[in-house]
Chain A
Amino acid sequence: DAGVTQSPTHLIKTRGQHVTLRCSPISGHKSVSWYQQVLGQGPQFIFQYYEKEERGRGNFPDRFSARQFPNYSSELNVNALLLGDSALYLCASTKGQAGANVLTFGAGSRLTVL
């Protein structure tokens, strides 16, 4: 198993643009979560999706959206990019929606906004 895979690994955008980040969970995992990690800080929760529905949302503006596909892969979309959106975006997968599940993380997509 390749583990949680994310693409792209690095990307550079300019302010006002839009970005789409992709994540494939571990085979058999039905839940995908997204986290934002700004340099020097711990990861912050953005969304959790389970069975293609949003199950939880962190304190992020509506410019951030996501979706989950029938094969359980997921996309994170960020519109109207700001300089402050520059960060490492992490995807994590778990088997279930809730409970004491262990989150397994991908390597991340590093976004730089100029």
Chain B
Amino acid sequence: AQRVTQPEKLLSVFKGAPVELKCNYSYSGSPELFWYVQYSRQRLQLLLRHISRESIKGFTADLNKGETSFHLKKPFAQEEDSAMYYCAPLFSGGYNKLIFGAGTRLAVHP
């Protein structure tokens, strides 16, 4: 079964602290992996995708195929990082289907 687990509903940190948002997935094959973010009153938008290996807004994500994890990290959190974060593998068996986790709300306090 295709499943995504984001174990933390809420992650609360202070500005400047490191952040790690966890994501584990169960999926047959090698999915393309994405993190999407939703800031307050804004639409869901792409944060980063594994294949591009970019660092967006200081965030990076490492794929661990052995542990089937794709954790999102940032060394120094900023207040503007406060948002809802969704991990989403892409099922591409003939069509595009993102499988979203329940999301983690990141709250960065001053």
Contact = CB atoms under 8 A, between A and B. Distances in A.
A97 interface: yes
Interface stretch (A15-23, A41-49, A60-68, A75-83): A41-49
Interface in B47-88: 49, 51, 86, 88
Which one of B44, B45, B92, B102 has the highest number of Cβ atoms from chain A below 10 Å of its Cβ?
B44
Contacts of A2: none
Interface in A1-49: 31, 33, 35, 40-45, 48
Given A100-B90, A105-B36, 10 more contacts: A41-B102, A42-B102, A44-B100, A56-B97, A97-B94, A97-B96, A102-B34, A103-B96, A104-B46, A105-B45
Interface string B92-110: 1111111111110000000
Give the contact-size bracket for chain B: 20 to 34
Nearest to B32: A100
A46 to B, nearest CB: 10
24 contacts: A35-B100, A41-B102, A41-B103, A42-B103, A43-B44, A43-B86, A50-B95, A55-B94, A56-B95, A56-B97, A90-B44, A97-B94, A97-B95, A98-B92, A98-B95, A98-B96, A100-B92, A102-B34, A103-B46, A105-B36, A105-B43, A105-B45, A106-B43, A107-B43
Contacts, number: 66
A31 B102 contact: no
A45 B43 contact: no
Interface residues of A, number: 28
Contacts of A33: 96-97
Contact of B49 (A40, A41, A99, A102): A102
Interface of B: 4, 32, 34, 36, 43-46, 49, 51, 86, 88, 90, 92-103
Which one of B49, B93, B94, B101 has the highest number of Cβ atoms from chain A below 10 Å of its Cβ?
B94
